[in-house]
Structure 1
Amino acid sequence: MVEKVLSINGLTYDVAGRSLFASLELAVSAGESVAVMGPSGSGKSTLLSCALGLIRPSGGVVEVSGADLAGLRGAALARHRARHIGMVFQFGELLSELSPADNVALAALLAGVGRKDAYTRAQALLTRLGVPFAESSEELSGGERQRVAVARAMINSPTLLLADEPTGALDEAAKEKVADTLFDMPRRYGCGLLLVTHDPAVAGRADRTLALSAGALVPALGGQVAVQ
């Protein structure tokens, strides 16, 4: 039986007087990639924030690697997040004055990994992802910075990888390379990948493509919401 690394059941969330999610259901298994599409304001980034434990939903259960995030607080939540979840943001969110290796190793150091081991892991990931040596991350291209962000997200061997519009700020060539990198992670490392995007070409690479519609997730075909 394949392990579910993310299980969302009956998720509800109200914001600004409206219901963003209405008993939303989602499961992501180890080794599986799932893409979520939807217009701006539909709740894609909020869904990722719920999976990160940054937002407490109005109702429902969000489990990551078997732990209900609502039952974790403070340091316990931070430890679970560091151990089990990696996050890739649209603009990378790197510390530009640090080298790629420093950016990646820092995530491991903050999780309690020893310095030598952290830098060994960081350099191995960066080499595998084809990131060139640089004194600072600002020397890299946009696509190279995003590959650094993927390496940083994977440094602690998470069971769940989240990506929020990871190719949205890239040109076509860089987009393809970053998408290749992201969708290789479940196959190579056995983690689950949940990616939100506006781009049908990127979403179409996933094992499953879903769309947020009326507060629920429905199958999407060719980047369009399937007729139910």
Structure 2
Amino acid sequence: MLRIKGLSYDVGGRELFTTLDLDVRAGESVAITGPSGSGKSTLLSCVLGLVRPAGGTVEVAGTDVTRLRGAALARHRSSKIGMVFQFGELLPELSPVDNVALAALLAGVPKDTAYRRAHELLEELGVPLTGASEQLSGGERQRTAVARALINSPALLLADEPTGALDAVARERVADVLFAMPGRHDCGLLLVTHDPAVAARADRVLALGDGTLSKADDAGTGAR
């Protein structure tokens, strides 16, 4: 679902990535750890096509996003990639169903199909279907964000510190949901986190440092 080859990127005169390689398969979860400033979020931005690398390729579902521009990039991102941010980034005045369905509507999915799928995903993830999203708990908002990321059946699910703003109980439940998604939806999951307990749930744990990825000492066991 994701294949990165020879990725290089410079920022502020500093070489952030040096011929970085990474593969994520369907049904697989990969967690990336590393200190602040190592480039974890920038790596996700390269996968999303928001940042243009100096060299290398970033293939998502067989298409090199570094070669896409404008509407073609937006279409590929919408149909093949789902993104979960640290703070959910929901529209607080909209209901959970509206937040999730909106992502499908923007991708051109018919209204009836979008709302049916939104209801199904939210029920699967245990999110209340009524009220404004601002009334949800932190964990419920993040589970809504996961549903939104999945609404267009992406090949690749990305998560940027998805449990970083949650308490211990909510963190565990959101992590349970996230790491179940590759098996349930046959997608790849690439997650970046500072939390070693969350990272350890992944099938593989990689450490980002000195511009490259290497196997982390506390590599995950794939436990869910």
Q: What is the TM-score normalised by the length of structure 2?
A: 0.97
Q: Distance in 2 between matches of 1:45 and 1:112?
A: 28
**Percent identity of paired positions between Structure 1 and Structure 2:** 71
Match of 1:108? 104
> Deviation of residue 216 (structure 1)?
0.2
Structure 2 letter corresponding to 1:129: L
Q: Does 1:120 align with 2:127?
A: no
1:210 partner SS: strand
User: Is 1:200 matched up with 2:196?
Assistant: yes
Aligned to 1:41: 37
Residue 63 of structure 1 corresponds to 59
Match of 1:50 among 46, 49, 58: 46
Secondary structure of the corresponding residue to residue 221 of structure 1: coil
What is the rounded CA distance, in whole Å, between the counterparts of 1:71 and 1:39 in structure 2? Answer: 30
Distance, in Å, in 2 between the alignment partners of 1:223 and 1:13 is 26
Residue 21 of structure 1 corresponds to 17
Deviation at 1:71, TM superposition (A): 1.5
Deviation at 1:223, TM superposition (A): 6.7
Within the alignment, does 1:150 sit opposite 2:146 as a pair? yes
- Note the C-alpha offset of 1:134: 2.7
Does the alignment pair 1:129 with 2:129? no
Structure 1: stretches of 5+ with no match in the other structure = none
1:176-209 Cα shifts (integer Å, max 9, x gaps): 0000000000010110000000000000000000
User: After superposition, what is the alpha-carbon deviation per residue over 1:26-85, rounded to whole angstroms, capped at 9, x for unaligned?
Assistant: 000000000000010000000000000110001111110110112111111111111100
Q: Name the amino acid aligned to 1:35.
A: A
8 A Cα contact 1:147 1:181, kept in partner? yes
- Count of aligned residue pairs for this structure pair: 220
2:88 counterpart (89, 92, 100): 92
Asked if the contact 1:90–1:165 (Cα under 8 Å) also holds between the matched residues in 2, the reply is yes
Code of the residue aligned with 1:151 in structure 2: it is: A
Contact kept, 8 Å, 1:32 with 1:191, in 2: the verdict is: yes
Using the TM superposition, give the Cα deviation of residue 17 of structure 1 relative to its aligned residue in structure 2, in angstroms.
Answer: 0.6
Q: Does 1:80 align with 2:76?
A: yes
Alpha-carbon distance in structure 2 between the residues aligned to 1:154 and 1:8: 22
Residue 188 of structure 1 corresponds to which residue in structure 2? 184
| Distance (Å, rounded) in 1 between the aligned partners of 2:11 and 2:85 | 22
Amino acid at match of 2:33: M
Q: Structure 1 CA distance, aligned partners of 2:161 and 2:134?
A: 20
Amino acid at match of 1:130: G
Distance in 1 (CA, whole Å) between partners of 2:68 and 2:129 is 39
CA contact (8 A) 2:204 2:219 kept: no
1:124-148: CA deviations, max 9, x gaps? 0000000012320011000000000
| TM-score normalised by the chain length of structure 1 | 0.95
